[in-house]
Structure formats: structure tokens, C-alpha cells
Amino acid sequence: MDPEESLIVLSGCGTSGRIAFLLVTSFNEMVKAPKQKQICSYIIAGGDRAMLTSQEAPEDDPALGARMLDKICAGKKHVLFVGISCGMSAPFVAGQLDFCLKHLDVFTPVLLGFNPVHMARSEPMQDCSFHFKDVAERMIAEQRHKKAFVLNPVLGAEAISGSSRMKGGSATKIILESILLAGHEAAFRGKRVTPECISAWITASEMVYETTYSHSDELAALIHQAGESLQMKAHVYYIGWQTLGIIGLTDASECVPTFGADFDDIRGFINNGFREMKNKEGDLSFLGPEFVIGHKDFVDTILPSLSQNDVMLFLFTVNDDLHEVTALADQVRRRTSNLHAIAHDLEKFTIPVIVMVSHLQRWELSTKWCLNAISTGAHVLKGKVYMNYMIDLRVTNSKLYRRAINILQRFTGCSKGECERALLRAIYSTDDLSEDMTSADVWKHTDVVVPTALVMIQCGCTLAEARHHLDCHPVIRDAVSACFSSSKTKNFIKPLDSVEAEP
């Protein structure tokens, strides 16, 4: 593969884009040669700032996706493009796949998602004549000629977990890592890659899973600690080294849109900050406090006010500079004893015979699972989840707008129209919706709009009354439970199959 003429591009939105970044960074590091152009590149909707903060709106823009792809592939003759959309729903990715399908002489498009094609999103997209499902079907048609490929094991992902950070994100990592490593073995080491090699990697991931969850008691203790901290309005800080630092930053950043968390409830830091990230746009710390990510920044800005209620979690491996880890731990210990570590060593992950797989990739996966469990569990304990639904989500793009309406329908049994009107009342802070309000794009909202709408519908009350009810119950789950138990309306949840499926 000549890097002057060829390129592999991984692209996605939100967590899918963050996983694309992580995979590309590790892969380029593995194959790097002096003065050689990089073989692999990533695109994340919203640019590098989306790695640390929720930039959900660009996800809705198919033309933007196509433009960004066109730009990074300028002058290339062969491009392997992998568009990742766990829920088979992101218009940004659909626009890119459509662009590839129109230029099959240069592009070989791959769609990675975790829904069957018939369940891909079929809602109209912004300024666009096709929808995601159309593109997925065209991909399937081209697959017959081996011009395009659809990888879609059905793993639950978005539709069930409500967030690709959990199921879809890990599966994305396992699948694409296997493909990239197989390509590396074949192209750079002259090895024949068989289906058995690939399934050996999947099996290795299963063993990582077993090893990780064999520590469920320790994990439960950490979830408990983190939950207590959040309930006390204290913080959880992940202090990570190398790519484990990226895993920490990713997990922390997803808590904002998923659980309606503040950016500093759970925060990640990485050794050497942006120098270690090696992202395309470089140091972004000028963008604001969410972008201040180095260990030194932690020491300068957080450590002086660290309290015993804050949870400190170090993430490192035996390959890191253990003197540095110890020195930082000593500094932290002077302020708090609430210090924990997820530390990986070789002994714990001795998996025989698998040559393709590096220890680091397994450690990343294990860390991801631990952190996803800790941050999710902590937010459950904080009351951000009601009957397994992450009801305090941020309504920041069309997918989340639709998800919000689905949640309202499920809990109230009311029609889609009624639920949408209640959501709009909460979004626009009014009981009287105008025509403009019902027809505009409205997904730019960071307030607790879904719980407010839920209370309005269930109690048949005004916006002011719903807000007052929420103010009286600072824990969202308690507010919603109280509303259901006091409401005269029958308390029921609509069966799943009676609500339109979410792609």
C-alpha cells in the first residue's frame, strides 16, 4: 500500500468518532516509518473538539460528512472508507457513504453498525433526498459485486443501551482492530491471515471480558464510591497514561449528553495533554476548561482544592513510567486517601497463541469496560436513570429528539403528537406553542427537558408546575417516581413493541 496514493479512513460521530480516533492513532503508531505519510486517518463529526465535548449537531449534516471526506482524500487513488454508525442512523456517515458510492473507482466503502439493514433509520435527512436506510441498501447491492461491504452483527447497541459508549463502542473497537491488525500482518509481515486468526482475536476479547468482570467485587466497590461522590456533588477524576488516558477522557465526556452531567462531575486527564493525544488539530486548551486535559493541568487547577469526597482513579499499565505514577499518587495522597487504580500487568492477561494482539489493545478494552461500568453505575446511584432509561439526556440532535419523544411515549402511553408537544413546551419554556416553534429545528437544548415534559404529561400540569415539582426533588428519578405514584392517570409503561422502534 503506497501512502502517497492510498488511504484508510475511519469516520463516525460521538463515541463512534472517538473510537475511530483511538484506532487510527494506535494503528499509525504501529506502522510508522520515518518520513512516511500516514496510512490511516480519522474523521469525527464536529472536528477534534468532539473528542472531549458533545458536538451532536454536525451528526445531522450529510453534506458536511461528504465534504470532510472529500477534503482528506484529495489526490488519493485508493481509499478504504469505514463509516461507523452503531445505530445505523448518523446522517453525517450516510452522506459519506453516498459520496463513496458515487466514486467507486476510488473508494471502497464499508458500513459498520449493529442493526439489520431493514432497521436502519429511514427518517428524512437535512437537505437530502435519501435517508440512511437507502444508503445501507445501496451498500448491500454493491456488496454483491464486492465493491462495498456492510458489517452489521446485531449486538443490541444503541437501540437497547441507548448509548454507543457501551455495547456498540466496544464491539466497534474489537471488529475494526481485528481488521486493521489482519491488514497489518498481511501487508507488512507477509503473513496469511485466515478466518481462524480473526476469530482468535474475538476469542481473546472474550477472555479480556472474563478477566475484567472476574473483578466484579472491586468494580462494585468503585461504582459505590463514585456514586457517593456524585451524590455529594463531588467529582470523579480519571488520571490516565497513554491510550488509557484517551479511554478515560472519552468515558468522562460522554456523561454530559448521556446523563445530563456537568462536565466536571467526571473528568479525564492524560499525561502530556494534547501532545500525547496526537490529534490532528493539536492543542485545543484555548477552547475552555473542558479542554484542559494534562496531568500538569490537574495538579495546577484541581489538586489544590481536591477533597476526600472526590474519587481519584489512576489508569496505567506496567509499560508506563511507574516513577511518574508513584510521584503523582504521592501528591494526591497528601490531599485524599480516596485514591484507586486500574493497573494492568502482563500476568493478568496471559492469553496464549494469539500473536496479532497487543497487550495495550486488551488493556484499553478492559479499561473501557471498567470505566463504562463505573460512570454508568455512579449515575444510576445519583438517580439519573429511571427504570433503565437514561431520561436526563441532552436533546442536541434529531436522533436524540426522537429518542426523547420515544421515552415520553413509553412512560406515558400518550400519542407521539402529544409527547412532541410536551417536549417542545419544555424546550421553548412556554405553555403556548406557536407555529414557528413546531416547525423549527430545536435540538440545541441542555436543560432537563425530558423529565419536565414527562411530568407535564403525566400530571397534566403547566410548565411552571412541572418545574416546581422537579425543583422539590433534586434527584431526577425520585421526581419522576413521585409524579407517577401521585398521578391519577394509570401508571404504566407501554410495551416495547407498541412504540415505534428507534433505529
Name residues contacting ligand S6P, limited to 99-158 (CB under 6 A).
Answer: 158
Q: Which stretch binds ligand S6P (CB under 6 A): 78-86, 298-306, 338-346, 436-444?
A: 78-86
CB of 112 to ligand S6P, least distance (A): 9
CB of 56 to ligand S6P, least distance (A): 6
* Residue in 19, 33, 38, 184 with CA at minimum distance from that of residue 86: 19
Q: How far apart are alpha carbons 93 and 85 in whole angstroms?
A: 7
**Which of 7, 11, 12, 312: binder of ligand S6P (CB under 6 A)?**
12
Q: What are the helix (H) ranges across 56-190?
A: 62-72, 91-102, 132-143, 157-161, 167-189
* Residue 13 in the binding site for ligand S6P (CB under 6 A): yes
CB of 54 to ligand S6P, least distance (A): 6
CA angle 364-219-331, nearest 5°?
A: 75
Q: How far apart are alpha carbons 246 and 241 in whole angstroms?
A: 8
Binding mask 266-305 for ligand S6P (x = CB under 6 A): ----------------------------------------
Q: Which long-range contacts (CB under 8 A, 24 or more apart) does 295-300 make?
A: 295/239, 295/269, 295/270, 295/271, 295/328, 297/269, 297/273, 298/237, 298/239, 298/269, 299/328, 299/331
* Residue 60 in the binding site for ligand S6P (CB under 6 A): no
Kindly tell me which of 97 and 328 has the beta carbon lying closer to ligand S6P.
97
CB of 12 to ligand S6P, least distance (A): 6
Q: Which stretch binds ligand S6P (CB under 6 A): 10-18, 99-107, 179-187, 218-226?
A: 10-18
Kindly tell me which of 97 and 422 has the beta carbon lying closer to ligand S6P.
97
Distance of CA 388 to the CA centre of its chain: 18
Kindly tell me which of 371 and 422 has the beta carbon lying closer to ligand S6P.
371
CB of 356 to ligand S6P, least distance (A): 25
Contact between 202 and 178 (Cβ < 8 Å): yes
User: Can you tell me whether residue 434 is helix, strand or coil?
Assistant: coil
* Residue in 56, 413, 387, 23 with CA at minimum distance from that of residue 183: 23
**Which of 41, 85, 212, 250: binder of ligand S6P (CB under 6 A)?**
85
* Residue 376 in the binding site for ligand S6P (CB under 6 A): no
Amino acid at 314: F
Q: Which stretch binds ligand S6P (CB under 6 A): 82-90, 275-283, 300-308, 314-322?
A: 82-90
CA angle 325-372-113, nearest 5°?
A: 125
* Residue 15 in the binding site for ligand S6P (CB under 6 A): yes
* Residue 14 in the binding site for ligand S6P (CB under 6 A): yes
Q: Which three cell numbers stand for residue 352?
A: 496464549
* Residue 253 in the binding site for ligand S6P (CB under 6 A): no
**Which of 39, 82, 86, 405: binder of ligand S6P (CB under 6 A)?**
86
Burial class (CB in 10 A: 0-12, 13-18, 19+), 209: middle
Q: How far apart are alpha carbons 160 and 163 in whole angstroms?
A: 8
Which residues here bind ligand S6P, judged by CB under 6 A?
12-16, 59, 84-87, 89-90, 158, 163-165, 168, 254, 258
